Amino acid sequence: MEKGHAATYDEVQKIHPLYFNIVKKRYWWFGLSLLIIIPGIISLFMQGLNLGIDFKGGTMLDVTFSKAVTQAAITDTMKSVGLEGPVQLSNANTNTLIRTSALEETKRNELLTALETKVGTYDKKALQEDKVGPAMGQELTKNAFYALIIAMGLMIAYITIRFEFVFAISGIIALLHDVLVVVGIFSLFRWEVDSTFVAAILTIFGYSINDTVVIFDRIRENATKMKRTESYEDMVDMSVWQTMRRSINTVMTVLIALLSVFIFGGESTRIFSLAMLIGVFSGAYSSIFNASQILVEIKTHLKKKPRSKAVRA
Amino acid sequence: MRRGNIIKLVALVLLVAAAVALSIKPLVDPVKGIPLGLDLRGGVHLVLQAEQDKNGTPITSDDIDKAKAIISNRVNDLGVSEPIVQADYDKKRIVVDLAGVTDPDKAVAILKTTAKLTFRNPQGNIVLQGDELKDARAGQDTTKAGGFVVNLTFSSAGTKNFADLTTKYVGQQISIYLDDKLLKNPKVETPILNGQAEIDNYATLEAAANDAVLMRSGSLPVSMSIAEKRQVGASLGIDSLHKSIQAGLYGLIFIFLFMLIFYHLPGVVADFSLIVYGLIVLWAFCLFRVVLTLPGIAGFILTIGMAVDFNIIIYERVKEEIRAGKSLRAGVESGFSRAFVTVIDAHVTTFIAAMTLYTFGTGSIRGFALTLGIGIIASLFTAITFTRLVLRLTVGINPKINTKWFGVRREV
């Protein structure tokens, strides 16, 4: 299988002008990760996520009026048909985003007619409406949860078959890290999450492990050539640095793609691209700084207790 | 060898350029091109939930089948291209996707109406149901100028029942209801034996036509509530489409530049492969009728970023091999075969995520998962066949090609 030979540890250190021993400083990286994750987890427990109607159920109407309108006019009109909910104005006060409970068709038509007569005419071709019944929202949450568990199980299985169980566990921990970073940040900043957020989380799940696997692949390759005198830590450090260019450049291209979606893609894909941006960035960080270091940590502990070697797949 | 390679390369470039030029028109064709989802061209997505009646009679799969057939009939009457009507038997639901529908409000009103046509006696009891109807057509009122009517034709059994009914209630009023809406309350003058009836007093032909559609398609066996509704105005959809295309173009341009700056000559090869990749994916969407949604486009742009990954893995590997003292050609060959294992392992995991998302997702999320999945397969395919070929040809032009073109510094 092996045909060429990659740069040696000494060479690696010379090629990269910014070289430093990543593996030795691993507790710093773990600390840095915890510094971001822990406030996120606390926020999750304290205030949860700012769930959009996709999860909670409700009706969201995006109405573009022909003239500027006021918040009070909209709220009063809603009150007149017995409704309430937050209203957001944008686009020089012509665009209103109305959120309320899930409306029946008759109620919804009543509201729209009232808006037209009391507030002003609106562009029917630019109307956007999302209605989600409460039951649908629960289903989405449930399905998202199942999907995460199943994806996780399948990935552990795949990595265990292709590498070792220890690799799978390290990879999954790094993955959970990325998910927690994204979910935590969304909770901290109270950014509203919708169904595309679920897609983003799952994609991060799939994509971040991709990065990790490339580094693991190198560790697997180097491990077979390891001499008795060399330490596992140094070998992992070398592997991480050998794949450093690739790790950074790949993430750069994906970030470029995501940034263009975030900036130019419009409102509907903003939550998705924002979650992905954070996730891919965190994924690159955890692949380089966490996954292999967790692997080293587990391996060193296993060495102390030789009996646990049975874990090896 | 050298000249042969140059000719082959030039031919390949021309071939791809021609393929791009010839693909644009069929791909954006509104009918046969890539189908656009309702969030990109306006329309409405409905999830209709079958509701149990007050007696708690269980809803059978047969009911759902019947409801689906009736809703399909009504949808076809709306004149929407490529409507989607799907039944979910487990959850007793019918999912309707109407992309490009001109009047979504009307569509929703027509689809969710149970449309039970009943004839009631003066005491208000139901004496005849609309199931016995053969046809219902809107037309002009022949007796009164400017009025519109719905002409009913009963089936043979219905004709007999209607005849019995009108005989029994001569001189009395029979009311005709559509669901709970009273349509007409006529006094029976003489028994009607020919199975023809007329409901008049419609103000517009459209109102008459709407009711005719409902009566003709028959009543839903169960009442339906709207569990989910996503409605996007047409101009909003077009706006989203333009924004997404813009986002895609910018993403592509910056990725192109990035690869050129960091990888020089192989960067050009990567960019070239990216065009081929994009072409393959778009044709796959078109041929497999994958409906492109907004998250789907985001997914596609994302896969452009990821498709380059294969090139990066290989080029980094090739650089390493060259640094280790191999010739360019040997470096490319061994780099390719070694990087291949890495790429497979790395992409299988993303593919797993895409597949789970597809299985558990609904609506536009599924569209995203599908684009992601197709993107991964297409990028693997492009890399194995096309990138490899072009890279071989390029290296073959001159084995002593300056390694600087590959972005390798040989100071080690």
Instruction: Provide the ipTM.
Output: 0.84
B247 belongs to a structural domain: yes
> Rounded to a whole number, what is the distance in Å from the CA of A249 to chain B's nearest CA?
7
What pLDDT is stored for residue B407 in this prediction? 60
Q: Are residues B13 and B77 in the same domain?
A: no
B225 belongs to a structural domain: no
CB contact under 8 A, B334 and A144: no
CB contact under 8 A, A105 and B233: no
Q: Are residues B102 and B131 in the same domain?
A: no
Q: Is A36's Cβ below 8 Å from some Cβ in B?
A: no
B313 belongs to a structural domain: yes
The rounded mean pLDDT for chain A is 88
CA–chain centroid gap for A58, Å, is: 25
- CATH number, residue B124: 3.30.1360.200
Domains, chain A, with CATH or none: 9-52+135-311 (1.20.1640.10), 58-125 (3.30.70.3400)
Q: Looking at B193, B219, B245, which one is the last position of a domain? A: B219
CB contact under 8 A, A217 and B341: yes
For residue B277, pLDDT beyond 80? yes
CB contact under 8 A, A249 and B312: yes
B412 belongs to a structural domain: no
What is the arithmetic mean of pLDDT over B63-82?
84
- CATH number, residue B99: 3.30.70.3400
Q: Are residues B202 and B275 in the same domain?
A: no
> Rounded to a whole number, what is the distance in Å from the CA of A41 to chain B's nearest CA?
24
Half-sphere exposure of A109 (CA within 13 A, CB side): 8
CB contact under 8 A, A125 and B255: no
Q: Suggest the residue from B250, B349, B366 to mutate for an interface test with chain A (most A CBs closer than 10 A).
A: B349
Rounded CA separation A182/A260 (Å): 19
Q: Are residues B139 and B260 in the same domain?
A: no
Q: Are residues B178 and B94 in the same domain?
A: no
Band of the pLDDT at A310, cuts 50, 70, 90?
A: very low
The rounded mean pLDDT for chain B is 84
Q: Are residues B75 and B122 in the same domain?
A: no
| Cβ–Cβ under 8 Å, residues A275 and A204 | yes
Q: Are residues B292 and B381 in the same domain?
A: yes
The partner residue sitting opposite A213, judged by closest CB among B259, B326, B346, is B346
Contacts of B335 in chain A (CB under 8 A): 4
In terms of average pLDDT, the best of A89-93, A252-256, B127-131 is A252-256
What pLDDT is stored for residue A112 in this prediction? 92
Rounded CA separation A253/A269 (Å): 19
Half-sphere exposure of B130 (CA within 13 A, CB side): 25
CA angle B213, B216, B218 (to 5 degrees): 110
B228 belongs to a structural domain: no
For residue A269, pLDDT beyond 70? yes
Q: Are residues B174 and B250 in the same domain?
A: no
CB contact under 8 A, A203 and B232: no
Please state the three-class secondary structure of chain B as a single string: CHHHHHHHHHHHHHHHHHHHHHHHHHHHCCCCCCCECHHHHCEEEEEEEEECCCCCCCCCHHHHHHHHHHHHHHHHHHCCCCCEEEEECCCCEEEEEEECCCCHHHHHHHHHCCCCEEEECCCCCEEEEHHHEEEEEEEECCCCCCCEEEEEEECHHHHHHHHHHHHHCCCCECEEEECCEEEECCECCCCCCCCEEEEEEECCHHHHHHHHHHHHHCCCCCEEEEEEEEEECHHHHHHHHHHHHHHHHHHHHHHHHHHHHHHHHHHHHHHHHHHHHHHHHHHHHHHCCCCECHHHHHHHHHHHHHHHHHHHHHHHHHHHHHHCCCCHHHHHHHHHHHHHHHHHHHHHHHHHHHHHHHHHCCHHHHHHHHHHHHHHHHHHHHHHHHHHHHHHHHHHHCCCCCHHHHCCCCCC
B69 belongs to a structural domain: yes
- Model-level pTM? 0.83
Band of the pLDDT at B21, cuts 50, 70, 90?
A: very high
- Give start and end residues of each alpha helix (H) in A190-312: 195-225, 232-242, 244-264, 270-285, 292-304
Chain B residue with minimal CA distance to A157? Answer: B349
> Rounded to a whole number, what is the distance in Å from the CA of A304 to chain B's nearest CA?
30
- Total domains present in chain B: 3
B224 belongs to a structural domain: no
The partner residue sitting opposite A261, judged by closest CB among B301, B320, B412, is B301
Among candidates A69, A63, A79, A177, which has minimal Cα distance to A119? Answer: A69
Chain A residue with minimal CA distance to B44? Answer: A129
pLDDT (tens digit, 9 = 90+) per residue, A106-146? 899 999 999 999 898 998 888 899 999 888 888 888 888 88
Q: Are residues B27 and B87 in the same domain?
A: no
Q: Is A229's Cβ below 8 Å from some Cβ in B?
A: no
B25 belongs to a structural domain: yes
Rounded CA separation B300/B241 (Å): 13
Q: Are residues B87 and B119 in the same domain?
A: no
Among candidates A6, A177, A165, A256, which has minimal Cα distance to B342? Answer: A6
A6-10, A301-305, B400-404: lowest mean pLDDT where? B400-404
pLDDT (tens digit, 9 = 90+) per residue, B384-397? 888 888 888 888 87
Q: Are residues B71 and B195 in the same domain?
A: no
- CATH number, residue B256: 1.20.1640.10
What pLDDT is stored for residue A75 in this prediction? 92
Domain residues for the domain of B122 are: 115-219
* 3-state secondary structure at position A96: strand
Chain B residue with minimal CA distance to A63? Answer: B233
The more confidently predicted of residues A199 and A150 is A150
Q: Are residues B377 and B240 in the same domain?
A: yes
Phi, psi for residue A122 in degrees, rounded to 5:
-130, 160
In this structure, which amino acid lies at residue B260? L
Q: Is A225's Cβ below 8 Å from some Cβ in B?
A: no
CB-count exposure of residue A45 (10 Å: 0-12, 13-18, 19+)? exposed
In terms of average pLDDT, the best of A192-196, B139-143, B360-364, B404-408 is A192-196
Q: Looking at B219, B246, B267, which one is the last position of a domain? A: B219
What is the arithmetic mean of pLDDT over B58-65?
87
| Cβ–Cβ under 8 Å, residues A65 and A121 | yes
CB atoms within 10 A of CB B403: 18
Among candidates B322, B15, B342, B343, which has minimal Cα distance to A6? Answer: B322
Q: Looking at B219, B241, B271, which one is the last position of a domain? A: B219
Q: Which helix (H) or strand (E) holds A166?
A: helix A165-188
A17-26, B377-386, B402-411: lowest mean pLDDT where? B402-411
User: Across-strand partners of A60?
Assistant: A99, A130
Band of the pLDDT at A4, cuts 50, 70, 90?
A: very low
pLDDT (tens digit, 9 = 90+) per residue, B282-311? 999 999 888 888 888 888 888 888 888 888
What pLDDT is stored for residue A309 in this prediction? 46
> Rounded to a whole number, what is the distance in Å from the CA of A63 to chain B's nearest CA?
10
For residue B29, pLDDT beyond 90? no
pLDDT (tens digit, 9 = 90+) per residue, A191-225? 999 888 988 888 888 788 888 988 999 999 899 88
Contacts of B109 in chain A (CB under 8 A): 105
